[in-house]
């Protein structure tokens, strides 16, 4: 037994063996995969265009050029009848390689609207994941990571976009949306 204790002591002293507490101190923290900046930029541009209302009408779609961010510009379409209203989002890299990446978007949703209807107010966190691929013209959104039958999430729009595009909303919904944008003046 004395030889075993001496052996362990010698190994610990040489840094070749660490008891469990010391092993935890030396362990490496988890690191997210290093995501290609080009892929993140494309997803950010798509989300920026979407939250600004690019998929709310054919005219907005054409002005935004949102279709240039996807691998197949005919797979997505403008003029949805509704949208989720979001205050913000976080992009997280789930996996990455030199030519592809899977990114998760976590949305801070406050409600939803459908054409002609009042806002359905419901605070929730929504998540979706997308696959981006490096193609000859550059990074493009390729598909959803876990539901490839439906290409894109959303549409998601900002409170300001909801105010600007949902002209049918009543004064209570408009007041709440203005409060979310920081706008405090009274309008009906």
Which CATH number belongs to the domain containing residue 102 in this structure? 3.10.450
Cα 79 to Cα 60: distance, rounded to the nearest angstrom? 9
94 in a domain, yes or no? yes
For residues 82-90, average pLDDT: 91
Neighbouring CB atoms inside 10 A of 6's CB total 10
Continuous segment of H or E residues that includes residue 61: helix 58-64
Residue 15 has pLDDT above 50, yes or no: no
- What is the helix, strand, coil percentage profile of the chain, to 5? 35, 30, 35
Q: What is the DSSP letter of 27?
A: S
Give SS3 for 139. Answer: strand
| Number of folded domains that form the chain | 1
Whose tokens are 């539901």? That residue is 147
77 in a domain, yes or no? yes
Tokens of 177: 């949306």
Q: How confident is the model at residue 11 (pLDDT cuts 50, 70, 90)?
A: very low
123 in a domain, yes or no? yes
Tokens of 181: 């944008």
Cα 169 to Cα 6: distance, rounded to the nearest angstrom? 79
Neighbouring CB atoms inside 10 A of 183's CB total 14
Select from 10, 48, 37 the least CA-distant residue to 103. Answer: 37
44 in a domain, yes or no? yes
Residue pLDDT, tens place only, 142-180: 877 776 555 456 688 999 999 998 888 999 999 999 999
The DSSP secondary structure of 67-124, one letter per residue, reads GGGBS-TTSS-S--SEEEEEEEEEEEEEEEETTEEEEEEEEEEEEEEETTS--EEEEE
| Mean pLDDT rounded to a whole number for the chain | 75
For residues 95-122, average pLDDT: 92
Cis peptide before 155 (omega within 30 of 0): yes
* Angle at alpha carbon of residue 128, lines to 126 and 129, rounded to 5°: 155
133 in a domain, yes or no? yes
7 in a domain, yes or no? no
Structural domain boundaries enclosing 104: 37-180
23 in a domain, yes or no? no
166 in a domain, yes or no? yes
pLDDT value, residue 70: 67
**Radius of gyration over every alpha carbon of the chain, rounded to an integer in angstroms:** 24
């Amino acid at each position: 037994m004395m030889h075993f204790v001496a052996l362990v002591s010698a190994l610990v002293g040489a840094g070749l063996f660490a008891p469990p507490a010391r092993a935890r101190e030396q362990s490496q923290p988890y690191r997210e995969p290093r995501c290609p900046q080009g892929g993140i930029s494309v997803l950010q541009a798509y989300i920026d265009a979407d939250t600004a209302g690019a998929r709310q009408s054919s005219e907005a779609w054409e002005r935004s050029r949102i279709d240039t961010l996807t691998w197949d510009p005919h797979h997505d379409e403008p003029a949805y009848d509704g949208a989720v209203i979001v205050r913000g989002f976080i992009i997280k890299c789930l996996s990455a390689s030199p030519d592809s990446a899977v990114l998760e978007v976590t949305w801070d949703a406050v409600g939803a609207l459908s054409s002609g209807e009042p806002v359905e107010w419901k605070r929730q966190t929504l998540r979706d994941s997308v696959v981006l691929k490096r193609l000859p013209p550059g990074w493009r959104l390729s598909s959803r990571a876990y539901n490839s039958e439906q290409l894109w999430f959303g549409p998601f729009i900002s409170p300001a976009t909801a105010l600007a595009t949902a002209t049918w909303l009543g004064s209570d919904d408009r007041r709440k949306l203005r409060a979310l944008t920081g706008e405090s003046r009274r309008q009906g």
